[in-house]
Chain A
Amino acid sequence: MNHSIALPVVLPALTACVLLLAAGNDLRRQRLVSLASVIGLGAIAIGLFAGAAGGPQAYLVGDWPAPFGIVLVLDRLSALMLLLTAAVGLAALVYACGGWDARGRHFHVLFQFQLLGTNGAFLTGDIFNLFVFFEVMLIASYGLVLHGGGAWRLKAGFQYVAINLVASTLFLFAVGLIYGVTGTLNMADLAVKVSSLPEGDHALLRTGALLLFTVFAVKCALVPLHWWLPQAYSAAPAPAVALFAILSKVGAYAIIRMHTLVFSADPAGVSTTLQAVLVPVAALTLAVGAAGVLASRSILGLAAYSIIGSMGTLLIAAAGLEPRQLSAAIYYLLHSTLVGAALFLLVDMIAASRGRAADRIVPGRMAHARVLGALYLVAGMAAVGLPPLSGFIGKVAILESVRGGPIGALAWGVILGTSLLLIVGYARAGSTLFWTPPPSPVGLVRARSLPALPTAVVVTLLAATAMLSVSGASVLTISAATVNELLTPGGYIRAVGLGSSPGPE
């Protein structure tokens, strides 16, 4: 049994406890511990990623056989997500050490718990346990949203919490229904049981399953369930939002996981209905995101709506079960996570260097306009999907994969059409921020030297997106292998120990 599979959950938990017990209010020590732990997490993730190439591995928590205990499963997808989490986590943490973490108590503790919840959600093979980790992830994120205080955070945070609690309630309803019909909670076991479910139970199973997907859709901020995102993301401290870039992907991950593992054989027509609903919704989401970018009066809003749009693009591809399509989706997931994180951190730096004008899209004095402008240009290109950065590659991959398929026309129209809107939005914002001379040009913003660490973080993230495009071939190879594994759930099911499954090969 490979104990390191449990580490992504255990390590952050211990770190958080150590922070609570030992580090007290000594910020320097907290930073050291936190950073060390996240770096460790990265090392573990790399190890697991390498290990996952050998096929799915199960970790029976408490040594209880599946489906009776809780099982953690490491496969290519979960390993990839763990790696991504560690990377973005490290970036966000380093940025936070630039001063954000001093704005209130317990930033690092909450940060660690957030990582714990995310990793757990990626690893677990049990739907109720998934619920628990969702809650860990969420309550930590609530704490992070509120970090630093202020009326805006409280109001926006309250809505964020309320909406997510509705979603959590729905999660329990869904899990309950599924258990009530199938009598199991283990995903692999579910995959086996649904295929042999009496026809009379199909309606209830479908209801439970689709409600579950609805919960995930809330996390993905799909229209019309997206309301929490613009506010929460514009209220939360930048490094927290950078980490949230992963949060929204957990929903996408869960959709892909449940869809491929449990419903790929289309029992009770769940998969058919799911795709029929999800694709138009995702397209609508993309449209709303683009419109939001065009409408935004602040770069913060611009970034937030870009995230919504990117989730739409992602889900258009992730809704299907067609290998090329899913592989494109995974590539786009990587891209949008990195770019999203970079974008929010950059927005924070820009707003911080503009004094009163802050993040509003109005002409204003700005320190370090050259550097920030260059970074904005690159980030914008990546977000809009202009070549040669990863956004373009991802888009082409998706367009390529849906060509000729049933959703081809819709996807092409929406993706290309919204790209134009995004170009307009970003160009307008950029030229107002960096080109339009301020109304009163006298007295520049008192230019302190550009904070080194945060800048380095943003540059690194943008460089990563560039790398994603340069080495696109190998990335797509990885995602193809991942998808291949996902679409043959038999391996996963056997790894969990339910080998006798008629699970679709």
Chain B
Amino acid sequence: MLPALIALTPLAGTLLPPALQRHGRSACALAAAAPTALALCALLVCLPAVFAGQAVEFRAAWIPQLGLSLSFVVDGLSAFFALLILGTGLLVTLYARYYMPAADAMGRFYGYLLLFQGSMLGIVLSDNVLALVVFWELTSLSSFLLIGYWHTRPGSRQGARMALVVTGGGGLALLAGLLVLGGIAGSYELSEIIERRDAVRSSPLFSVALALVLLGAFTKSAQFPFHFWLPHAMAAPTPVSAYLHSATMVKAGIFLLARLWPVFAGSGPWFVLLGGVGLATMLIAAWIALFRNDLKLLLAYSTVSHLGMIVMLLGFGTPAAAVAAVFHILNHALFKASLFMNAGIVDHEAGARDMTRLGGLARVMPVSAAMAAIAAAAMAGVPLLNGFLSKEMMLEQASGTVYAGVAWLVPVLATLGALLSTAYSVRLLRSVYFGETRYAAAQVPHDPPPGMSLPVAVLIVPIVLIGVFPALAAPLVERAASAVVGASLAPLELVLWHGLTPALGMSLAALLGGLALALSVSRTSRLLARLPRPDAKLLYERGVDAGVAAARWCIERSHSGELARYVACIVVAILAVAATGFLGGTHETGSRPALPASGGALVGWVVLAAACIAALLGHRDRLLLLILTGAVGLVVALTFALFSAPDLALTQISVEVVAVVLLLLALNLMPKTTPRETSTLKRCFDGVVAGAAGLAAAGGALAVLTRGFDPISAYHLAEAKPAAAGSNVVNVILVDFRAFDTFGEIIVLGIAGIAIVALLDPALREAAARGASAQVANSPAPPSPLLAVGTRLLLPLVLTAALYLLLRGHNLPGGGFIAGVVVAIAFLMQYVASGHDWAARRARLDAHSLIGGGILLAGLAGMGSWLAGSAFLTSAHGHFSLPLLGQVEWSSVLLFDLGVFATVVGTVLLALATLARVKGPVIETVAQEQVGKVARAEPQRVRRRGSA
């Protein structure tokens, strides 16, 4: 339980500080310190066991299917890192309490800090690599939030984004790498992966896994060439820089390398990559650091350089090197964190971080100066301080290492790196604290409140202690190191004096050389100022912007908003699929005997073809197009009639009438011609596409028409009469066998009607708003009163006919739908004859309830069968006799058909009546149009704004 407690307490406490926001900074600080302290206690409880050599574990399943579990292990290494994280965490919490400006919302700040702390602990403690990735990405996220904490500054935003993208992206690579690794090992538990290292090493995917994991680690630990994000992360408040970007988060990558050391270390690529990258990073970063004037930037680059050194040590792959690495992790964390806090103090007190504007502060703030001196000296590697020891060990390892067959390469470069680090340490100290007194603050700087000095002091003490009595650190380092190499090491003794080893000479050389360089740096820097320096941030920003631009180019070009293009795309795709499908399988032409072509059919075909061609050529004249459409519709209806589908013929004709009237109404309100606006090329292309589609359709049809099959409809033919009491099988299918389709169908129709009204409603209201309604009412007088009277007399007849059609539908062509359309058409005629104000009055009979009622009726007719315990839409039937019609088969489906009828009437009436009412306002607006654009533009813009 304890290990989980360590990691999860800070995460659980994340919301605590924000909650205490209004109780002041100290409350927030305490709220942040409490979970940290708690976790630290839990860790301390674990320590004895760890030092006794066994690991404290906690395992809980999360998603076993993915091998993702919450298993936390406290062993030497994780304990070592957890101590660093929690220890510095406490100090930083205290420090930030006094450092952060009074104006800032500390609750949020501490919340982010705890989020980071918890995730970081998760990384070092979790034994499950997938869980490790989870926490890994969480640290990236929290560092994003912390760097962007002062988000009104552009630098913060850019730095935050850059950090997120680089480390988050690295996280993705890491995820991939660990998935591969786990795949090879057959488990995502670190301990098991390490156990099966031999299997891993022999796998062909080994190098892939290694490369991906290293990508993750290098990005996180800011190794060359991914080092550029770290300096820009310095936009974060200094406590964050001290905590995340020197002591802990940037060490996550190194931690990972240390963790996987047993798996990878010793392999060729590991040595080459880590050794090379580490060394390069160490040198390049140190060189840059030497010429940075911003305190934090100097420290940032020096951090990168030291991380490089640690990576190099891990790369060497020898246990001794691993010990040196671990030891330096500890030492670096101590002196670098204290230096960062010190830089913060300087910034806070002297009002500047730019070394060119600072100087001689030792006189005014002696305590800070003293502590800075010690820490810097440790970084420079001055004897009797901790930095000296680990650097000595590093040089010792380097001296024995042959890289790329060159014996002197590593030793010389390593010494050079050490030399540079001495140089910038000296330069820092010299230009800030010595020389003539300079500062940017209004009043004379002085040592900060104890709240800020104390954390630094707490870090300084171990620097000295370890420096003088190295043995103090031995147990911790030894535990951690043995956890790294995965075997208990020979009990190591850390001592000051190794005798006159080459390493001693190298470090002396480094010290003196560094000193000399530091004293001459001002001249060199002036020299170097002329040399061009690549600005990584600029490159990065350019890269991202270029990416965005490219994406925009692709997306916005392709998504031009041209419907024609979209449809063309889709049609071509469809044809491609069809071709793939057809050509991929065997096809035999059918053997079904063809029907002889009748003369009538031929005539019909010719008419159709003519109409089609005319439509193609003359489609710009819209009225003509409408007429042709009607004609084609009629031919289609006749085709249905010819091939023994009377119901279809009736339906097609009636639908045709409605559709054409609709289109005419539309045309009445819209331009009468279509402009020619496409290039000949485009038209040819369209022609080709259309032709291909036509051929495909025709081919498909012919292929099927010429082959036999036995469809399920045999059953329908056989059962219609006996089982469903209807001889018109089509209608029986519609209202009984497949009534469910029809139910959906009338719903579609109903929705169409409703949607149309909802759509036209605003138009009417606007018209009314523009006071147009007056003109709306009195439309042009009906063409001829005689016609009007005639149609009104006709109405009852039509209604009876419709009723007849409805009733007989089950046995003869007809049925609810056709009847409905007929009735609707009757009303339509009324409208044509009597003008739309009359129709508008008729429209008062609420078509909405007609639709609703119709669907409801159909639904209820279907549910009636539930009472009988049978399924939805089960029919029941019998006989009854009517005058005129004689014996009529009644059937529960009649109710259903009635529902259909009502819906159809309702929809058609609704659509037409509403359209009719739009007519008025439009004529009126068009008139306005001609009067002057302003009159129209104004209300429209107002409408837009109203909605914008």
- Chains A and B come from one and the same complex: yes
Collect the chain B residues with CB atoms within 8 Å of residue A434's CB. Answer: 151
Decide if A104 is an interface residue (CB 8 Å cutoff).
yes
Residues of B within 8 Å of A208, CB to CB, are 581
Name the residue on B nearest A180 (C-beta): B704
Interface pair A185/B570, CB less than 8 Å apart: no
Q: B585–A3 contact, CB under 8 A?
A: no
- Cβ of A13 < 8 Å from any Cβ of B? yes
- Interface of chain A residues 90 through 117 with chain B (CB within 8 A): 104-106, 109-110, 113, 116-117
Interface pairs (22), CB distance under 8 Å: A10-B859, A63-B870, A110-B755, A132-B745, A135-B744, A182-B709, A183-B713, A184-B711, A203-B581, A203-B585, A211-B574, A211-B581, A387-B138, A393-B68, A396-B66, A397-B65, A399-B176, A404-B183, A424-B161, A431-B157, A436-B157, A473-B63
> B573 and A225: CB pair below 8 A?
yes
Q: Which positions 391-413 of chain A face chain B at CB distance < 8 Å?
A: 392-393, 396-397, 399-400, 403-404, 412
Which chain A residues (1-53) contact chain B, with CB distance < 8 Å?
Answer: 1, 3, 6, 10, 13-14, 16-21
- What is the minimal beta-carbon distance from A382 to any residue of chain B, in angstroms? 13
Number of interface residues of A (CB under 8 A): 132
Q: When the two chains form their complex, are residues B165 and A424 in contact, meaning their CB atoms are under 8 A apart? A: yes
Per-position binary interface string of chain B over residues 121-165, scored 1 when its CB falls under 8 Å from any chain A CB and 0 otherwise: 000000000100111011001001000100110101100110011
At the interface, yes or no: A251 with Cβ under 8 Å from chain B? Answer: no
In angstroms, Cα B573 to Cα A387, docked, is: 37
Asked if B710 is at the interface (CB within 8 A of a chain A CB), the reply is yes
Contacts of B692 in A (CB 8 A): none
B711 lies within 8 A of A435 (CB): no
A104:B758 contact, CB within 8 angstroms: yes
**Does A444 lie at the interface of the complex (its beta carbon under 8 Å from any beta carbon of B)?**
no
Docked complex Cα distance between A23 and B555 (Å)? 45
Chain B residues engaging chain A, CB cutoff 8 angstroms: 61-68, 130, 133-135, 137-138, 141, 144, 148, 151-152, 154, 156-157, 160-161, 164-165, 168-169, 172-173, 175-176, 179, 183, 544, 547-548, 551-552, 554-556, 559, 561, 563, 566-567, 569-571, 573-574, 577-578, 580-588, 697, 700, 703-704, 707, 709-713, 715-716, 719, 736-741, 743-745, 747-748, 751-752, 754-755, 757-759, 761-762, 848-849, 851-853, 855-856, 859, 862-863, 865-866, 870-875, 944, 947-948
Q: Which A residues are CB-close (under 8 A) to B561? A: 231
Cα A453 to Cα B211 in complex, Å, equals: 49
Mask, A116-134, CB within 8 Å of B = 1, is: 1100100000001100110
Task: Please give me the 8 A-B residue pairs with the lowest Cβ-Cβ distance, nearest first.
Answer: A200-B588, A20-B852, A203-B587, A183-B711, A202-B585, A435-B151, A143-B755, A180-B704
Residues of A within 8 A of B183 (CB): 403-404
Chain B residue numbers with a CB within 8 Å of A139 are: 748, 751-752, 755
Distance, CA A210 to CA B451, complexed state (A): 72
Given contacts A211-B574, A387-B133, A431-B151, contact A177 B866 (CB under 8 A): no
Q: In the complex, A120→B740 CA distance in Å?
A: 10
Interface residues of chain B: helix, strand, loop or mixed (majority):
helix
Least CB distance from B137 to A in Å reads 5
Contact A477 B65 (CB under 8 A): yes
Chain A residue, CB-CB nearest to B162: A427
Q: Is the CB of A183 within 8 A of B581?
A: no
Name the distance in Å between B619's Cβ and chain A's nearest Cβ: 16
**Which residues from B are CB-within-8-Å of A437?**
152
Q: Which residues of A contact B176 (CB under 8 A)?
A: 399, 412, 416
Indicate whether A163 reaches chain B with its CB closer than 8 angstroms.
yes
Q: How far is the CB of A170 from chain B (nearest CB, A)?
A: 6
Contact A129–B747 (Cβ < 8 Å): no
B157 adjacent to A435 (CB under 8 Å)? yes
Complex contacts, B578 vs chain A, CB 8 Å: 207, 210-211
| CB of A27, distance to nearest CB on chain B (Å) | 14
Contact of A400 with B570 at beta-carbon distance under 8 Å, contacts A62-B740, A393-B66 already known: no
Least CB distance from B134 to A in Å reads: 4
- The reply to whether the CB of A326 lies closer than 8 angstroms to some CB of chain B is no
Q: Name the A residues within 8 Å of B156 (CB-CB).
A: 435
Determine if A225 and B570 form an interchain contact, defined as CB atoms under 8 angstroms apart. Answer: yes
Contact across chains for B758 and A143 when beta carbons are under 8 A apart: yes
Is A209 part of the binding interface, using a Cβ–Cβ cutoff of 8 Å?
yes
Asked if B134 and A392 sit within 8 Å, CB to CB, the answer is: yes
Cβ A435 vs Cβ B574 within 8 A: no
Q: How far is the CA of A205 from the CA of B588 in the complex (A)?
A: 12
Chain A residues whose C-beta falls within 8 Å of the C-beta of B873 in the assembled complex: 61-62
- Residue in B567, B757, B872, B875 whose CB lies within 8 Å of A166: B567
Chain B residues with Cβ under 8 A from A224's Cβ?
569-570, 573
A502 contacts chain B at the CB level, 8 A cutoff: no
Residues of A within 8 A of B (CB): 1, 3, 6, 10, 13-14, 16-21, 59-64, 67-70, 104-106, 109-110, 113, 116-117, 120, 128-129, 132-133, 135-136, 139-140, 142-143, 146-151, 158-159, 162-163, 166-167, 170, 173, 176-177, 179-186, 189, 198-211, 213-214, 218, 224-225, 227-228, 230-231, 268-269, 273, 277, 288, 291-292, 294-295, 305, 356, 358, 381, 386-388, 392-393, 396-397, 399-400, 403-404, 412, 416, 419-421, 423-424, 427-428, 431, 434-437, 472-473, 476-477, 480
Could you say which residues of chain B place their CB within 8 Å of the CB of A109? 754
Minimum CB–CB distance from B736 to chain A (whole Å) comes to 6
Q: Which residue of B lies closest to A202 (CB)?
A: B585
User: B65 and A480: CB pair below 8 A?
Assistant: yes
Are A59 and B871 in contact, with the CB atoms below 8 A?
A: yes
Could you tell me if B740 and A129 are in contact, using CB atoms closer than 8 angstroms?
A: yes
Judging by beta carbons under 8 Å apart, are A163 and B141 in contact?
no
CB of A237, distance to nearest CB on chain B (Å): 11
Taking A104-B761, A202-B586, A224-B570 as contacts, is the C-beta distance between A476 and B872 under 8 angstroms?
A: no
Give the distance in Å from the alpha carbon of A286 to the alpha carbon of B178 in the complex: 23
Of chain A, the residue at the smallest CB distance from B947 is: A150
Contact between A227 and B588, CB atoms less than 8 A apart:
no
Contact of A132 among B571, B580, B581, B744 (CB under 8 A): B744
- Nearest-neighbour CB distance to chain A for B636, whole angstroms, equals 15
Q: CB distance B755 to A381 under 8 Å? A: no
CB of B137 within 8 A of CB of A387, answer yes
Q: Are B165 and A427 in touch, CB under 8 angstroms?
A: yes
CA–CA, A393 to B571, complex, Å?
37
List A contacts of B715 (CB < 8 A): 68
Judging by beta carbons under 8 Å apart, are B710 and A183 in contact?
Answer: yes
Q: Please, which residues of chain A bring their CB within 8 A of the CB of B757? A: 105-106
- With a cutoff of 8 Å between Cβ atoms, the chain A residues found around residue B165 in the complex are 420, 423-424, 427
| B151, B164, B582, B762: the one within 8 Å of A207 (CB) | B582
Residues of B within 8 A of A381 (CB): 141
Q: Which of A3, A199, A201 lies in contact with B871, CB distance below 8 A?
A: A3
Shortest distance in angstroms between B945's beta carbon and chain A's nearest beta carbon? Answer: 10
Among B138, B703, B709, contact of A183 (Cβ-Cβ < 8 Å): B709
Q: A387-B138, A424-B165, A477-B65 are in contact. List 4 more A-B contacts (CB 8 A).
A: A6-B871, A295-B552, A397-B65, A420-B172
Chain A residue contacts of B148, Cβ below 8 A: 431, 435
Which one of B169, B582, B856 lies within 8 Å of A203 (CB-CB)?
A: B582
Cβ 8 A contact of B586, one of A120, A200, A403: A200
**Cα A133 to Cα B552 with chains together (Å):** 37
Complex contact B755–A70 (CB within 8 A): no
- Contact: A214 with B584, CB < 8 Å? no
Known: A70-B738, A110-B755. A132 touches B748 (CB 8 A): yes
Contact check: which of A151, A162, A181 meets B567 at CB < 8 Å?
A: A162
Assess A201 versus B707: contact at CB under 8 Å? Given A62-B740, A64-B737, A423-B164.
yes
Q: Are B751 and A113 in contact (CB under 8 A)?
A: yes
Chain B residues closer than 8 Å to A387, beta-carbon distance: 133-135, 137-138
A-side contacts of B586, CB under 8 Å:
199-200, 202-203
- B896 vs chain A, min Cβ distance (A): 10
Question: Quick check: B559 and A227 within 8 Å, CB to CB?
Answer: yes
Residues on the B chain within 8 Å of A147, using CB: 758
CB < 8 Å neighbour of B703 from A60, A61, A204, A421: A204
Q: Within 8 Å CB of B133, what residues of A? A: 387
Query: Taking CB as reference atom, which chain B residue is nearest A384?
Result: B168
